[in-house]
Structure formats: structure tokens, C-alpha cells
Amino acid sequence: MEKPTVALVYQAVQALYHDPDPAGKERASVWLGELQRSMYAWELADQLLQLKQDVESCYFAAQTMKMKIQMSFFELPPETHIALRDSLLSHIQSLKDLSPIIVTQLALAIADLALQMASWKGCVHTLIEKYSNDVSSMTFLIEILTVLPEEVHSRSLRIGANRRTEIIEDLAYYSSTVVTLLMTCVEKSGSNEKMLIKVFRCLGSWFNLGVLDSNFMANNQLLMVLFQVLQRDETSTNLHEAASDCVCSALYAIENVDTHMPLALQLFQGVLTLETAYHMAVAREDLDKVLNYCRIFTELCETFLETTVRSPGQGMGDLRTLELLLICAGHPQYEVVEISFNFWYRLGENLYKTNDPALHGIFRPYIQRLLHGLARHCQLDPDHEGIPEDTDDFGEFRMRVSDLVKDVIFLVGSMECFSQVATFFWKLEVQMTAGGAAARDCPYRRALHQH
């Protein structure tokens, strides 16, 4: 390929998006793909970003920059790295209001550059120092700080284990500075929903990398803000999801509870305050929020599983955590209880290994209630004809119930369990006529017979 003019590249981008002829679109796509693989892509993408003609051309250029840095960074001599960094920072600042997807592509390009550019020491400190006092730059600064930890383990980047370790240590060193910046953003933006979503996404990203200091986080106001958002009935769906994701990331990050005690206690107590909010979401028939709460409750139980088995009913082995999951199991939509299945599998596995009758006795009532709840979920509508296919969603759910029952039935005893639920099925069969055969085929009952 000979070096094309920037005007020709722009025409190709226009054809890609606007040519009414599918063949024309395909030709443009092939040609632009070839361009992206060439050495000319660096300069031409930079020129398109400078021209700032429209969203399509800027998006193509930003995406090209990201791809080149990810896949072909070796093409650039080290003496050009600083100029590339400064150019990208200039572009993201000038294009910050054009489109969020362009900002994200450029943020990824900057993050991937920082991870591969060993000479850029303390990149987090540099970025915060440069942009944190400019309110208009806060959006793209937080976007860079969000994708930076996410890219550390990216398979697209050609960085070795030593470099990766160096990066993680560097990010850990500046993590408290990032959290302080996020709290400042919350204080300045007040109830600005878009900013809160960005802050929670960013915080979750740093939790996921596992570099936040637990003692520092345990005393940070951001945790309080998170739970306040989740407790409020008027919280929007998008903000609720972002806050839920962040809490789940935090719980996952402290899975080794004994080494994160102060933060573990704060998260434990915070999640237990959400039961009322869950009931409100159920009353309002807000399934999205119900699913979010169930995700949080499940992650809480997963995180404190070993503590719960080791010291049930004591401290953070508080069995109210199981009560939360059983409340979710009572929701009429089976998708809600299904979220918790992995926890119940793990609990059954842990209890089976202990082989302690006294311990089994503590958890038996919870498993009995779970099994009754699952039996209700497996019930078919009276007007349902035939047996659900194993390949449809409800059929797959029933198969998963069957697997779960097999894994936890030892805690209850198959005969005892069968006698407790037999009446349930007999009543069901009396009520159902056309669906009677399907009732008899309930996976719960089938699992009991197979056990």
C-alpha cells in the first residue's frame, strides 16, 4: 500500500458508514483494515484526530490509535513515545465533548501506552496532577483511570510478567490518591448521576485489580455513598447497576476475609442494611433492582462462606446472610434465585467435606427452605401443555435445580425430604389436569428418586 492522503482516508470512512451500496461498504472496510495494519496508520490517525471533522472519522482514528498501540507498538522507536503520549492527551482533551465512545477509545489508547511505555513513570500521578483541577477534564480523566486497571491483564498487550508486576505495584502505590480524587468528584458534583456512575465504575475497576488498601477504604466516605445510593428508592436503574457492580467487586476483592478485616466488616454491615430496599424493589416490581440486590447478597455469602461454615451465627458468620438469599428464593421470577445457585453448590461442598453432624444440623433448616422454594419454582402454569424442552430457559433452569438438589440433599436426607414435599406434589397434581404429567416430571422429584 502506498501512503494515501488524509482526504482519501476520510472518503473511505464516509463510504464505510454511508455508502448505500453494500459492495462499496465492503471495499471501504477492506481498504481501511489494510491501512490500519500499515505504518502510515500512525500519522494518518493523528491527522484525522486533529482535523476533528465528524464523529465517524474521529472514532475510526481513535480506534486505529488504540489498535496500533495494542498490536504494533514495537513499530515506534522509543524516542517517539513521549510525543505520542502528549499527542494523545491533547486529542482526548480537544475531543472530550464530541462523543463518549471516542473518549473511551482514546482513554484505552493512553492506558495501553502507559502500560507499555516503561519510561512513563508514575503515570497516574502525572495525569491527576495535570487534569484534576480542571472540571471540564474530569470526565476523560476518570475514564482513563477506569480502563487503566482493566487493561493490566489484557491479552492484547505484549508485556512480560516483570513489567506487569511493576505496573501493579505502581498502581497500588497511587491507588489511595485515585480514591481521594473520586471522593472529591462526588463532593463537587453533588447528585450528578452521570458522574456518580463514572466514579462507581472507576472504583470497581480498582477493586477488581486488587490493589486498594483495605484499611484506607474501610474509613472512606465513598463506601457510605455507595450504600446510600443502593438504599434510596428513587435511584435510577443505571446508577443502581453501577453501584451494585462496585459493591460486588469490593466483596470479591476481600474474599480472603482475614487479611481485610476492617473493610470486610464495613461491607458486611452495609449489605445487611439493604434488605428493606430489596422489599421495596419487589413491591414496585422493579426486576432490575431485585436482580442487583440478589447479586450483592450472593456475593456477600460467597465472600463469607468459609467464615459462615467455621463459626455459624457468630460475628461475620451471621446466618442473616443466608436469610437474605432465602428471601430472594421466594421471589416469583426464577431468574432471581438462580443467581445464588453457585453459592449453594459451594456451601454443600464445604459441609460435605466437614462431615460434622452438629454443623449439618445448623444448616439443615436453611437447605429445607431452599428446596421448598425450588419446588415452587419448578411448578408449571396450570394451562401449560406438555413438558418443557431441556433447551429452553425454563427447561435449563429445571435441569440446574435437579443438579443442585443432588448436591445438597445429603444435608436433609432423601427420604425425609421426600416425605416433606410429597404433599406439595400431590396437591399440585390434583390441581392440574393437562399439566399433571409435567408436574410428575418435576426435576426436584426426579432428583430425589435418583439419589
Report the alpha-carbon distance of residue 344 to residue 347 in Å, rounded. Answer: 5
The helix-helix angle for 320-329 and 275-283 (nearest 10°) equals 10
Q: What is the radius of gyration, based on Cα positions, of the chain?
A: 27
Annotate 297-319 with DSSP letters as a single string.
HHHHHHHTHHHHHHSTTSGGG-T
What does the pLDDT profile of the chain (451 residues) look like in tens digits?
Answer: 789 999 999 999 999 999 999 999 999 999 999 999 999 999 999 999 999 999 999 999 999 999 999 999 999 999 999 999 999 999 999 999 999 999 999 999 999 999 999 999 999 999 999 999 988 999 999 999 999 999 999 988 888 899 999 999 999 999 999 999 999 999 988 778 999 999 999 999 999 999 999 999 999 999 999 999 999 999 999 999 999 999 999 999 998 898 999 999 999 999 999 999 999 999 999 999 999 999 999 999 999 999 999 999 999 999 999 999 999 999 988 899 999 999 999 999 999 898 889 999 999 999 888 888 887 767 666 665 566 666 667 777 777 777 778 877 877 776 666 665 665 555 555 555 444 444 445 555 555 455 5
Distance CA 342, CA 339 (A): 7
Instruction: With H, G, I as helix, E, B as strand and everything else as coil, classify residue 133.
Output: coil
User: What count of other Cβ atoms lies within 10 Å of the Cβ of residue 39?
Assistant: 12
Res 408: pLDDT = 79
Measured distance CA(10)–CA(47) in Å, rounded: 10
Residues 6+ apart with CB under 8 A from 383: 434, 435
Which amino acid belongs to residue 356? D
Count of residues in the chain? 451
Cα–Cα distance for residue pair 444/46, rounded to 1 Å: 62
Chain-centre distance of CA 2, in angstroms?
44
Let me know: does 436 contact 429? Beta carbons within 8 Å: yes
Q: Which of 401, 396, 400 is nearest to 376 (CA)?
A: 401
Q: Are 400 and 341 within 8 A, CB to CB?
A: yes
Beta-carbon neighbour count of residue 32 at 10 Å? Answer: 17
What is the model's pLDDT at position 190? 78
CB neighbourhood size of 405 (10 A): 28
Region for residue 52 given its phi and psi (left: phi exceeds 0; alpha: psi -120 to 50; beta: otherwise) = left
pLDDT at 434: 43
Q: Check residue 415 and report its DSSP letter.
A: H
Domain ranges of the chain: 213-339, 356-451
> By the 8 A CB rule, do 152 and 166 touch?
no
* Rounded CA separation 222/250 (Å): 12
Contact of 232 with 275, CB cutoff 8 Å? no
pLDDT of residue 281: 97
Spatial neighbors of 391 by CB under 8 A, at least 6 apart, are: none
End-to-end CA distance of the chain: 67
Give the C-alpha separation, 231 to 222, whole Å.
Answer: 14
